[in-house]
Amino acid sequence: MYFSNSDNLPYAFCEQIGNEIRDISDEIPFEIPESWEWCRLSDITIKEIKRGKSPVYADSGSVLVFAQKCNVKTGGINISFAKYLADSAISKYPQEEYMQDGDIIVNSTGTGTLGRIGMYSNEDNHDNMTLVPDSHVTIVRVCSDISQYIYYILKWYQPYLEESGEGSTKQKELKADRIKELFIPIPPLSEQHRIVSKIEELLPYIERYGKAEEQLIALNTTFPEALKKSILQEAVQGKLVPQNPDDELASVLLERIRAEKQELIKAGKIKKDKHESVIVTRDKIPYEIIDGKERCIADEVPFEIPDNWCWCRLNQLGVFSSGKTPSMLEPAFWNGDIPWVSSKDMKKSIISDSEMHITELAAESMQIYPAGTLLLVARSGILRRMLPLCVLGIDSTINQDIKAFSLYDLSLSTWLYYTIKAFEPYILKELVKSITTVESLKFDEFSSMLIPIPPLVEQSRIISSIKASVKLLSPLVKDSMFML
């Protein structure tokens, strides 16, 4: 029982248990009107607050066992989750432990379900089956006049109960004593009824607000990513910055790259393409020339590009190759000064160092890729959700899980990085296949993708605009795999 200052005591609230009186002023959660009173939940229940029993299940029977899953997350009770109690175990349950209309259920075990509050109604039990609680739920039973009010009070306590479990992370338990000792504010009965009526009047609005809040949270979560993709889509379609008619045509840039490629072929540094692709545009219609044969590819290009841009196959801009791993059993190969990049290092858009380094001896049988080389992971479980793509900021070797894209003109590396990122949704959806439990790029299709190429000076303007846009979005966009 509780006393206030009106009893000439030196504290606002005290609790008497037997002959002992103690000050509980610091425990009272909030102030209440003068016509109200505080009590413990256990003081107003008509049945001891305790958990049910561990049941013995059967395939059929006359009694159902109410489990914590019946107290559903979205609110309400779903008896279809209940299982049958074995007939041999029915005698262990006295009549007062059968569930009754108005019983309040508190889920008392588990992670994610702990502390959840529900209220059982006979209307939930369409077949009028007898129900008993299992050991994972606690039953709170009060007189019917106040049950709805107490239910809403316990709903207010739900976040507290969710945090009050004890035990391991996998199996926390909410003790009945923690529920029994809850402070309950008790208004006059008529006021309780008015409170319940008002809550139920407002609940539809609260539910609509909750759904609107969920949608807003989802929008806030997806908006930065959607905006980032939108910026890239505008960029690769030539819509992010205006074109300048004085810019050197992209076709001139590609001719220069083809000339550089021929020099490398003559020097024996790369092999000649068996089927070199050249794409030209006439009357705004793209045609591809391979082995002297020309065909229209208008149905293959994904969008229109400005007149001074060109389409090009990705593999016409450089050579793809893989690295390798020096023998781990040879100490002379490791702990040197030459970076050796693995997929573990591909967490940022620009690689400035590697976790492991090899010696010059190990590097003698490996290719050292120059800064500006594009790197991508072509086989990994991470391809389910993203394409790891980076630009080397240092000269480095790589391991066999990584594809290096050695460009004929390194000035294209930043543009190609952002362009491939813009195509990432398409790549992940159409160009990734599952091999057992690991995803892999359909590499021939990926390397022959059609890529839009702007004039070199426009590339610089677009890249500057992308960086300026993302800088404004920096509080929202935190993807280290995005910004160069």
User: DSSP of 170-193, one letter per residue?
Assistant: SSEE--HHHHHT-EEEE--HHHHH
User: Alpha-carbon distance 336 to 198, whole Å?
Assistant: 74
- Tell me the mean pLDDT in the region 320-345: 93
- Tell me the mean pLDDT in the region 66-83: 88
CATH 2.70.98.60 holds for 250-456: no
- Tell me the mean pLDDT in the region 346-359: 92
* Residue 215 or 432, more confident: 432
Is residue 110 a contact partner of residue 171, using CB atoms and an 8 Å limit? yes
Q: How far is CA 131 from CA 82, 99, 104, 110, 135, in A?
A: 9, 5, 14, 21, 13
Helix (H, G, I), strand (E, B) or coil at 213: helix
User: Alpha-carbon distance 71 to 139, whole Å?
Assistant: 12
User: Alpha-carbon distance 270 to 211, whole Å?
Assistant: 59
Neighbouring CB atoms inside 10 A of 66's CB total 28
pLDDT score recorded for residue 21: 82
Is residue 402 a contact partner of residue 324, using CB atoms and an 8 Å limit? no
User: Alpha-carbon distance 72 to 81, whole Å?
Assistant: 9
Which stretches of 250-290 are DSSP H helices? 250-266
pLDDT score recorded for residue 5: 47
Contacts of 447 (CB under 8 A, 6+ apart): 313, 314, 315, 320
Contacts of 373 (CB under 8 A, 6+ apart): 391, 392, 404, 405, 406, 407, 410, 413
- Tell me the mean pLDDT in the region 158-180: 86
* Residue 325 or 171, more confident: 325
pLDDT score recorded for residue 474: 64
Place of tokens 């450089």: 318
Closest to 229 in 3D by CA, of 454, 71, 427: 427
User: Alpha-carbon distance 174 to 159, whole Å?
Assistant: 13
User: Alpha-carbon distance 140 to 412, whole Å?
Assistant: 70
User: Alpha-carbon distance 105 to 107, whole Å?
Assistant: 6
Amino acid type, 167: G
What are the residue ranges spanned by the domains of the chain?
A: 2-31, 46-187, 250-456
The pLDDT tens digits of the residues spanning 208-255 come to 887 877 777 776 666 666 777 788 999 999 999 999 999 999 999 999
- Nearest-10 Cα torsion for 444, 303, 484, 379: -20
Is residue 346 a contact partner of residue 390, using CB atoms and an 8 Å limit? yes
User: Alpha-carbon distance 285 to 310, whole Å?
Assistant: 11
* 111 pLDDT above the threshold of 80: no
Q: What is the value of pTM for the model shown?
A: 0.58
Q: Considering the domain 46-187 in this protein, what is its CATH number?
A: 3.90.220.20
